[in-house]
Amino acid sequence: MSAEETRNCSPAYSDWFDKPVVLLVKVRQYFIPMHCRIIGETNADVRVCVQPGFELEIRKELICAVEETTAIREIWMN
């Protein structure tokens, strides 16, 4: 993700940057809750950190809902 990409996007997810959230992501006919932190955004994608050292980009059209969570990370990680 380049600086140019982040400069030209609408900050729809900026309220949740670097906060623990649960994303409800649609994968085919299933809805998957994903515990993560939102760390970046482009026009089409949201970049999340699932755990330290593991980041991925999710297409915005696959995100159905975002909810801030206060759960302790150790509770939802095996």
**What's 45's domain CATH number?**
2.30.30.100
State which residues form the domain around 37. Answer: 3-71
Q: Is residue 57 part of a domain?
A: yes
**DSSP H helical segments within the chain, as ranges?**
3-7, 73-76
pTM for this predicted structure: 0.72
What is the domain count for the chain? 1
CA nearest to 62, candidates 27, 30, 21, 13: 27
Residue 78 counted as domain residue: no
Rounded Cα–Cα distance for residues 52 and 41 (Å): 18
Q: Is residue 37 part of a domain?
A: yes
Per-residue confidence band for 27, with pLDDT thresholds at 50, 70 and 90? very high
Residue 63 lies in a domain: yes
Task: Give the number of other Cβ atoms within 10 Å of residue 73's Cβ.
Answer: 12
Query: Is 67 part of any domain?
Result: yes
In this structure, are residues 41 and 47 in contact, taking their beta carbons and an 8 Å threshold?
yes
**Residue range 37-58: mean pLDDT, rounded:** 92
